[in-house]
Amino acid sequence: MTSFNHFDSSFAVLFDLDGTIVDSRQGIVSTLHHVIRTLGHEPVLTRDLTWVVGPPLAELMAEVLAPYGEKRVDEAVGIYRERYQAVGRHQTPIFPGMVDLLQKLAASPVRLFTATSKPAFLAKDILQGHDIAGLFDCICGANADDSGGEKPELIEKIMREQNLQANRTIMIGDRRFDIAGAHANHLRALGVLWGYGGEAELTQAGADYLCESPEELTAAVYDQLSATSQHAGAAH
């Protein structure tokens, strides 16, 4: 059994939420279909919308609506927020094995944070719904209006406000945005393959390590935290 008690409170782990801790695909895609219907169109159910999961939605809504010739982006975002808050956020099961890892980290001196492009209040609601919000030192994410969700700026803000050290902090996520945001702040970045980015995207983004399962991630987090303390900023 991996124990993180070897590390002190100067170490920290940042987690993406969608596609890393929770499987939010169903909640997000069903909410988008609701938006499209509300605007008077019939959604093409075979159209892949998985690519929307991860980045700030407000920036991508125009692309989601384009195939329908729809330009009411601001209205669509408002409809999305209301529906997701009421229904979509409840359609977010946790990936098997992730609670065990989070509990192990929370039981150690290592500090634990989310770094999600989802508004922080929604992330907190989702994690509270699974009774794991209390495992985190802080649930960090975008502002209520979806601003501030770009990963480089968000991670920089977390690092600054929480007084974290780049050579003792790692980022875990499933999309290239997570990897790029981490590297922009000189953090090691672990990519998870059960999310929505995939091996090719994460490899191209330069992930320091790829994990196929939460069990493998547990060992990788230990190894990467050890590497940060021994070789600050060096590749593993």
Q: How many CB atoms lie within 10 A of CB 63?
A: 12
Beta strands at 188-192 and 111-119: parallel, antiparallel or unpaired:
unpaired
Q: Is 16 a catalytic residue?
A: yes
- At residue 235, φ and ψ (nearest 5 deg) are -75, 150
Distance CA 205, CA 114 (A): 20
Please give the angle made by the CA atoms of 92, 97 and 99, to the nearest 5 degrees. Answer: 70
Q: Residues 16, 18, 146, 178: which is the catalytic one?
A: 16
DSSP 47: S
Annotate 153-197 with DSSP letters as a single string: HHHHHHHHHTT--GGGEEEEESSHHHHHHHHHTT-EEEEETTSSS
- Alpha-helical segments (H) within the chain: 25-38, 57-65, 73-86, 98-106, 120-129, 151-161, 176-184, 199-205, 214-230
* Chain position carrying tokens 């196929």: 212
Distance CA 30, CA 52 (A): 12
Catalytic residue numbers?
16
